[in-house]
């Protein structure tokens, strides 16, 4: 139709892409064919222990144990007396991923393939969570973001910077909100075992320093990506498919009682769940639905490949292709903008709901995030 043609000619990058300094996030601009997104391949993993120490192995892997048909998990149990909370004012930036890269350089550089012997054979290095934010941007109406990008030896490193609004929110959380953040971790404790033959231990301590992270490689159109994401657990059947297909993402959500609640769940929550798990190729999400008192009353499995069908009947709903095309165009935008290759330079990309993406460049600033030990290791 005419309208579509108008949107088309007014491309996401304006008339002259090279001179354009902003990127639009309007949905209509990204409604085209789904871009190539290669099946993500796990190239490694790492663990963070109860004191947030890094290990280049899977010691923190946990195993999914399917709950009863009618669970009765009290998510409030242990909040006061068996909870060790990670200090989320400590900004770790990309440090854990960079440690993994240093320890596993040979796994990402097929011998002889790289032009420069120590350059990384990928275009982007980042956290999965940052890519999730990019995927959901065309539909986000509440929270903006700041993404710092440094180009170093041809690779673009993307690390989030906390916005002022996010910092205020973190520092002013209500007691109820603090407790509700615990509920997700408590649900993990009810459904995860430490090894294939043991059972979950709901009497233990919840320590949010602990994490198991997968590192995957994939390609979005012409962008070669290396990213890491935290994985909750895996299928305990030894015959389950190889990672990441054996992984299970756990979520909690408020019980759905009305059509309005169901619609909101489809339109907002399933978007976030889909984006987060689609990226690393995690095939299923197990959701615990809880009542107002924090008791899980039912559990349901969502297959990521079926979510787009589930939402099709929703009016004015989100579309996976818009998410992926926006992310792809943002990465192209980054490649065009971030021209200076230096660990001392950061390009800060900034976005607020209903606005375009803008950027600014900073040399030797507070935003620098590639640690000296990494730069030295990769320059040697
Ligand atoms: O902004 C971020 N997402 C950063 C995360 C910045 C720097 C470091 N990290 C770390 C987190 O501490 C965590 O170890 O990366 C890991 C998670 O990375 P991700 O997988 O890329 O993040 P995301 O997809 O947003 O979150 C996955 C899970 C969350 O599960 P739910 O079901 O709630 O989405 O990681 C956990 C949480 O369990 N998580 C965190 N844990 C501790 N501190 C944090 C955090 N700041 N963010 C997410
Ligand atoms: Ca989770």
In this predicted structure, what is the pLDDT of residue 5?
36
What would the two tokens of residue 132 be? 């999730």
Q: How far is CA 235 from the centre of its chain?
A: 21
Rounded Cα distance, 378 and 380, in Å:
6
Does ligand 1 lie within 6 Å of residue 276's CB atom? yes
Q: Whose CA is nearest to atom 25 of ligand 1?
A: 129
The residue contributing the CA closest to ligand 1 atom 46 is 88
- Say which range, 4-18, 25-39, 221-235, has the weakest mean pLDDT: 4-18
pLDDT at 117: 54
CB 92 less than 6 A from any atom of ligand 1:
yes
Mean predicted confidence (pLDDT) in 5-9: 35
**pLDDT of 358:** 98
371 lines ligand 1 (CB under 6 A): no
Q: Which segment of 18-32, 61-75, 105-119 scores lowest on mean pLDDT?
A: 105-119
**Residue, of 307 and 119, whose pLDDT is higher:** 307
Above 70 in pLDDT, residue 118? Answer: no
Q: Whose CA is nearest to atom 13 of ligand 1?
A: 230
Task: For ligand 1, say whether the CB of 319 is within 6 Å of any of its atoms.
Answer: no
Q: Whose CA is nearest to atom 44 of ligand 1?
A: 88
Distance CA 364, CA 74 (A): 49
The per-residue pLDDT for 106 is 86
- CA 250 from chain centre, in angstroms, equals 14
Mean pLDDT (whole number) for 142-166: 98
Per-residue pLDDT at 3: 35
pLDDT at residue 6, as a whole number = 36
Is residue 363 scored above 80 in pLDDT?
A: yes
The strand order across the sheet containing 295-303 reads 73-74, 295-303, 284-290, 247-254, 233-235, 63-64, 192-193
Which pLDDT does position 171 carry in this prediction? 97
- Find the mean pLDDT for residues 47-66: 98
E strands, 100-154, are 124-127, 145-152
Question: Which atom of ligand 1 is closest in space to residue 131's alpha carbon?
Answer: 21
- Is pLDDT of 354 > 70? yes
Q: What is the mean pLDDT of residues 165-181?
A: 97
> 27-31, 103-107, 167-171, 175-179 — which is least confidently predicted?
103-107
* pLDDT at position 233 over 70: yes
* Residues 294 and 185: beta-carbon distance below 8 Å: no
Q: Is the pLDDT of residue 7 over 80?
A: no
Worst-scoring range by mean pLDDT, 12-16, 231-235, 314-318, 366-370? 12-16
188 lines ligand 1 (CB under 6 A): no
Ligand 1 neighbourhood includes 88 CB (under 6 angstroms):
yes
Q: Which of 7-16, 113-122, 334-343 has the lowest mean pLDDT?
A: 7-16
Q: Which atom of ligand 1 is nearest to the CA of 249?
A: 32
> Which residue is closest in CA terms to ligand 1's atom 27?
230
Q: What pLDDT, in 10s, does the model give residues 256-309?
A: 999 999 999 999 999 999 999 999 999 999 999 999 999 999 999 999 999 999
Given a cut of 70, whether residue 8 has pLDDT beyond it is: no
pLDDT over 90, % of the chain: 90
Q: What share of the chain is helix, strand, coil (3-state, %, to 5)?
A: 30, 25, 40
Average pLDDT over residues 206-215: 98
ipTM of the complex: 0.94
pTM, two decimal places = 0.94
Do you know the residue count of the chain?
Answer: 380
- Does position 124 have pLDDT exceeding 80, yes or no? yes
Q: Whose CA is nearest to atom 7 of ligand 1?
A: 93
Q: Is the dihedral of CA 164, 167, 169, 171 positive or negative?
A: negative
Q: Kindly list the protein residues that place their beta carbon closer than 5 angstroms to ligand 2, a single-atom ion.
A: 232, 250
**Section 37-56 average pLDDT:** 98
The residues pairing with 151 across neighbouring beta strands, listed in sequence order, are 156, 341
Please report which confidence band the pLDDT of residue 107 belongs to, taking 50, 70 and 90 as the band edges.
confident
The answer, yes or no, to whether residue 125 has pLDDT greater than 60, is yes
Q: Is 52 in the pocket of ligand 1 (CB under 6 A)?
A: no
User: What's the pLDDT score for residue 119?
Assistant: 82
Which residues on adjacent β-strands are paired with residue 307? none
Whole-number Å distance, alpha carbon 285 to ligand 2 midpoint, is 8
Class of residue 366 by CB neighbours under 10 A (exposed 0-12, middle 13-18, buried 19+): exposed
Question: Token digits for 9?
Answer: 């000619």
Give nearest CA residue, ligand 1 atom 3: 129
320 Cβ closer than 6 Å to some ligand 1 atom = no
- For residue 174, the CA-to-ligand 2 centroid distance in Å is 21
* CB distance 78 to ligand 1 below 6 Å: no
| 136 CB near ligand 1 (under 6 Å) | no
60 ligand 1 Cβ < 6 A? no
What is the average per-residue pLDDT within 174-201? Answer: 98
Residue 98 confidence (pLDDT) above 80? yes
pLDDT of 15 reads 47
Residue with tokens 């990204």: 30
Q: What are phi and psi of 40, to 5 degrees?
A: -65, 140
């Amino acid at each position: 139709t005419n309208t579509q043609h108008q949107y088309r000619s007014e491309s996401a990058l304006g008339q002259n892409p090279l001179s354009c300094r902003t990127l639009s996030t309007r949905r209509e601009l990204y409604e085209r064919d789904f871009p190539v997104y290669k099946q993500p391949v796990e190239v490694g993993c790492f663990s963070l222990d109860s004191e947030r120490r890094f290990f280049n192995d899977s010691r923190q892997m946990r195993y999914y144990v399917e709950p009863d048909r009618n669970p009765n998990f009290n998510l409030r149990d242990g909040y006061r007396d068996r909870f060790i909370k990670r200090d989320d004012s400590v900004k770790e930036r990309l440090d854990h991923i960079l440690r993994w890269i240093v320890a596993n350089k040979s796994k990402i550089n097929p011998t002889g393939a790289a032009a420069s012997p120590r350059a990384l054979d990928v275009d982007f290095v980042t956290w999965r969570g940052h890519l999730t934010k990019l995927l959901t941007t065309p539909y986000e109406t509440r929270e903006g973001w700041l993404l710092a990008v440094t180009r170093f030896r041809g690779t673009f490193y993307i690390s989030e910077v906390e916005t002022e609004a996010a910092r205020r929110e973190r520092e002013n959380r209500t007691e109820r909100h603090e407790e509700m953040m615990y509920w997700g971790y408590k649900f993990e404790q009810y459904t995860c075992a430490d090894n294939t033959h043991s059972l979950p231990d709901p009497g233990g301590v919840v320590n949010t320093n602990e994490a198991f992270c997968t590192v995957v490689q994939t390609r979005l159109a012409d962008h070669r990506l290396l990213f890491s994401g935290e994985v909750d657990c895996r299928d305990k059947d030894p015959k389950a498919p190889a990672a990441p297909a054996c992984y299970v993402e756990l979520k909690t959500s408020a019980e759905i009682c009305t059509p309005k609640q169901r619609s909101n769940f489809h339109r907002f929550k399933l978007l976030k769940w889909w984006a987060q798990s689609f990226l690393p190729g995690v095939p299923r999400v197990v959701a615990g639905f809880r009542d107002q008192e924090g008791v899980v009353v039912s559990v349901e499995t969502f297959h990521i490949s079926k979510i787009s069908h589930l939402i099709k009947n929703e009016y004015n709903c989100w579309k996976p292709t818009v998410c992926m095309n926006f992310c792809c165009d943002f990465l192209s935008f980054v490649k065009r903008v971030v021209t200076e290759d230096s660990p001392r330079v950061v390009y800060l990309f900034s976005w607020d709901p209903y606005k375009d993406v803008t950027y600014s460049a900073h040399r030797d600033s507070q935003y620098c995030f590639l640690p000296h030990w990494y730069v030295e290791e990769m320059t040697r």
